Amino acid sequence: MNHIIEIENLVKTYRVGDVTVQALGGVSLTIERGDFVAIMGPSGSGKSTLMNIFGCLDKPSLGTYRLDGVSVGNLGRDELAEIRNRKIGFVFQQFNLLARTSALENVELPLLYTDTAARERQERAMQALASVGLADRADHHPNQLSGGQQQRVAIARALVNRPQMLLADEPTGALDSHTSIEIMAIFQQLNREQGISTIVVTHEPDIAAYANRNIQFRDGRIVVDERIARPRQALEELAAVGGEVPQEEPVEAV
Amino acid sequence: MKKILASVRIALRALLTNRLRSALTMLGIIIGVAAVICMVAVGSGATARIQEQIASIGSNVIIVLSGSITSNGIRLGSGAAQTLSSDDAKAIASECTAVAAVAPTVRGSGQVVYGNNNWFTNIQGTTPDYLTIREYTMQSGSAFTSQDVDGATKVALLGKTVADNLFGSTDPAGQVIRIKNVPFTVAGVLSAKGQSPTGQDQDDIIILPISTARKKVIGASQANANAVGAIMVQARGPSMMQEAELEVRELLRQRHHLQAEQDDDFTVRNLEEVFAAQETSARVMSILLGAIASVSLLVGGIGIMNIMLVSVTERTREIGLRLAIGAKTKDILTQFLVEAVTLALLGGIVGIVLGASGSYVVSYFAKWNTLISPGAILLAFVFSALIGIFFGYYPARKAALLDPIDALRYE
């Protein structure tokens, strides 16, 4: 079982009033375990719909979707919640951190919906924060952190339950270019060192260039699907600029 | 349990972030619970007072009043004729099995003088059993005995009011007073009984041996020297009341030679029944007050629902995020339900404290009895929790059933 994602003839249609809109028109795709994929396309091309289906937030109208070998097409609401909790880490454009809640507690959040004991929750949240270089900001609230730091807290939250796959929807969309490189450095490092399959939706080719594989969507279909021979390396670029390199520690234990 | 505690902590934090709003929302419950506690306390205070007054009459008491004769087709009321006699009383005592004690009474009134003081009061002639039936105790001195009745001794027992008015602070026992100009020795003073259920001062009375009263003070009917105004009868127990009533009525009808078609020439009154009705009306009053107060509790509940709905809308993105990272329907439902219940319970606790102090203030300033029962407090507590659940369920369900994608996109 070497594919984390297998989709076959995926169709998704929405009904808007009397008009039926087809967001995805028969997409077939496999993504290998441990790959780093960027999905691109203009708005309305169907990439967000696909991400929602990948994230088990939405169900396809037709076709099959197998995540980690399990068909998730006909699972119930709570079963999907369980899969999201255990197998998927989400990173959003707007970070979606809880206000007036410390970074540590934000990171702990996914563990609240498991049977993890309080002490272990804290330890694991602390490790996850350390892995994105924010161990010293554990008790800061989101409004005391910069945008880049907030996104790193969000990544730590995505990591805390040891997912097999990270889904990032425009993770750098709200960040400046330097901070964006820092965030991509974290994704690349997690992907390389822990083998977490990573899928990033972006409309910036610069960001897609950090991935190993680029998929382009247009009108609900794949128009380009290519391997990148030499992806950009965020860490090297940061070292060259001499900017702040995220203090990353070896991250086996996360 | 641990999980619930954790959700209570989360709920408290959510409530603390909107302090003013939470406080205002709670105010509805606080006022409601305080009103219920206060009203029920006032109501049960009134009931307790009535019960106290009923107890002052004595327990299991039946009063037989003479009277109600028909003369030339005109019916006269109770007491119009002295149809009862001391012999009737003796017969009841010896023949009715359900009866524990019997005391014939004659009543009158007159001026009483001691030294420079005088007082107009009720005078009652009776036997020592009367004191037992009415559960009188002596504050000072001692009661008269059946020897005093047989010998028509000139001794008197004073009610508290009479003793106070004639003697002030000195002890009346052994002193000589003049009742309608006849000198009597005060044998003792009765302990205070307070108001009767009908509002009369039960301590404004002088009790004399029935024989002495007839001969020296009230005077006896010429037709029937043995006549008495009323006979107090005490049944052997609460369950014997009906039986005693029946026995007394039959015996008296027989003794008075009444034919089957003739009306009774006496009236039997079961006091328990009369006062039970009063007690019931007080109780109904207290339930009514409580019910009116619970309307404000209901309004408070609606306030909670309103604020929870606002809160769910405001936190749509938070809910979306929680759903996305793995919260199940039940988790979100619990979170918001616990928040609503916490709000209601906090309000309930503050309301209980406020209601208790409120009823204390009422009893202090209005000189009313109030009675706060642990039952009422428990009920208020449980009721506010139920209100939290009832009015919190709809908003919580609304939150739990949100679509995660829409919720995450919500602006």
Distance from the Cα of A236 to chain B's closest Cα (Å) equals 32
Handedness of CA B380, B386, B391, B395 (dihedral sign): positive
Residues 6+ apart with CB under 8 A from B120: B109, B110, B111, B112
Lowest mean pLDDT among A242-246, B50-54, B148-152: A242-246
Q: Is B285 exposed, middle or buried (0-12, 13-18, 19+ CB in 10 A)?
A: middle
In total, chain B counts a number of residues equal to 411
Q: A75-96 pLDDT, tens per residue?
A: 899 999 999 999 999 999 999 9
Could you tell me which of A56, A46, A51 has the C-alpha nearest to residue A25?
Answer: A46
Q: Which of A90, A122, A153, A159 to mutate to test the interface with B (most CBs of B within 10 A)?
A: A90
- What is the value of ipTM here, to two decimals? 0.91
Q: Is A114 on the interface with B (CB under 8 A)?
A: yes
- On chain B, the residues whose CB falls within 8 A of the CB of A161 are 326
Handedness of CA A201, A91, A46, A34 (dihedral sign): positive
- On chain A, the residues whose CB falls within 8 A of the CB of B320 are 96
Instruction: Identify any residues that bridge with A197 across adjacent strands, giving them in sequence order.
Output: A165
Residue ranges of alpha helices (H) inside A88-232 are: 103-112, 118-131, 147-159, 177-194, 205-208
- On chain A, the residues whose CB falls within 8 A of the CB of B326 are 81-82, 84-86, 110, 113-114, 161
- Surface of A (153-172) touching B: CB under 8 A: 157, 161
- Surface of A (50-79) touching B: CB under 8 A: 52, 55, 57-58, 77-78
- Helix (H) / strand (E) containing B253: helix B241-255
Residues 6+ apart with CB under 8 A from A8: A28, A63, A64
User: Do the Cβ atoms of B203 and B122 come closer than 8 Å?
Assistant: no
CA A207 – CA B405 distance, rounded (Å): 24
How far is residue A107 CA from its own chain's centroid? 15
Q: Do B329 and A82 touch (CB under 8 A)?
A: no
CA B204 – CA B192 distance, rounded (Å): 10
Q: A95-140 pLDDT, tens per residue?
A: 999 988 899 999 999 998 998 888 999 999 999 999 999 999 999 9
Lowest mean pLDDT among B190-199, B200-209, B336-345, B352-361: B190-199
Taking residues B317-332, report their average pLDDT. Answer: 93
Lowest mean pLDDT among A46-50, B50-54, B76-80, B277-281: B76-80
CA B17 – CA B15 distance, rounded (Å): 5
Residue B181 in tokens: 């100009």
Q: Do A81 and B321 touch (CB under 8 A)?
A: no
Of residues B317, B324, B330, nearest to A84 (C-beta): B324
Residue for token digits 């504050």? B139
Q: B98-112 pLDDT, tens per residue?
A: 888 899 998 888 899
CA B13 – CA B269 distance, rounded (Å): 65
Handedness of CA B131, B135, B136, B142 (dihedral sign): positive
